[in-house]
Amino acid sequence: MRLMVFLCATIVSPVYADVLFELHVGAEWFYEMEGTENRQGVVRIETAHTVDGVLWYRLNEFGEVFWIRNGDGGQIEALNVDEDGPYMRGDADDELLVFHYPAEAGDRWSFFDTEVTYQGVQSMTLPAGSFDCHAYHLDMGDGDYSLSCFTPEVGLVYNEAVLDGGPKTIARLIRFSVPSGH
């Protein structure tokens, strides 16, 4: 199952990716899952790899692997990946700026067949505690969507998704561990 992680920004002042979503090798987030066979899910940053002087992080998100980094204007995902990690061909198709921030409630953008809307700050009470989180809604068409909510210095606290016409899945943060330092 692919739950997409979507990052967002504050509507009060600029927030940079490494503050909103910590990218440190060894960081782990544990979730209570609903609508899936697995009752618990895990997201981990497993390793880091430098390509052309740029540090990329291997994010294992509920079994799906992405190579991501924080950059100007948001979170970037590598599009060219092999068993050794991301590689750059030197053209515009090397990476995709997925999560734009800072953003203001109502901001919209798209990539591939997905339209993203930043919904602003929402309050949520979850097993891991109460959070003010930044919410992103991704409309992938045909009823498929993802709603991802992030809290600065914590990461993804909530994700709700319908993918590939399947059942609605929900991930609620139970606990997390984010090592300090880079």
CATH of the domain at 109: 2.40.360
Which pLDDT score, from 0 to 100, does residue 10 have? 27
Task: Give the whole-angstrom CA distance, residue 25 versus residue 179.
Answer: 8
| pLDDT of 162 | 97
Give per-10-residue mean pLDDT for the chain (182 aa). Answer: 35 42 90 94 94 91 90 82 80 75 88 92 97 94 94 90 95 92 53
Overall size of the chain counted in residues: 182
pLDDT at 101: 72
Residue 7 inside a domain? The answer is no
pLDDT at position 155, please? Answer: 87
Write down the pLDDT at residue 11. Answer: 27
Cα–Cα dist 74/79, whole Å: 16
Q: Is the peptide bond before 179 cis (omega within 30 degrees of 0)?
A: no
Confirm whether 26 is domain-assigned. yes
Tell me, yes or no, whether 5 lies in a domain: no
How would you class 159 by CB atoms within 10 Å of its CB: exposed for 0-12, middle for 13-18, buried for 19 or more? buried
Determine the pLDDT at residue 159. Answer: 96
Q: Assess contact for 112 and 84: CB atoms under 8 A.
A: no
Q: Is residue 34 part of a domain?
A: yes
Number of domains in the chain: 1
Q: Which domain holds residue 110?
A: 17-175
Within a domain: residue 165?
yes
Q: Distances from the Cα of 25 to the Cαs of 28, 32, 68, 180, in angstroms?
A: 9, 22, 12, 10
Label residues 105-123 b or e (16+ Cβ within 10 Å = b): eebeeeeeebebbbbbbee
pLDDT score recorded for residue 19: 56
Has residue 102 been placed in a domain? yes
The answer to whether residue 181 sits within a structural domain is no
Residue 140 lies in a domain: yes
**What pLDDT shows up at residue 92?**
63
**What's this model's pTM, rounded to 2 decimal places?**
0.82
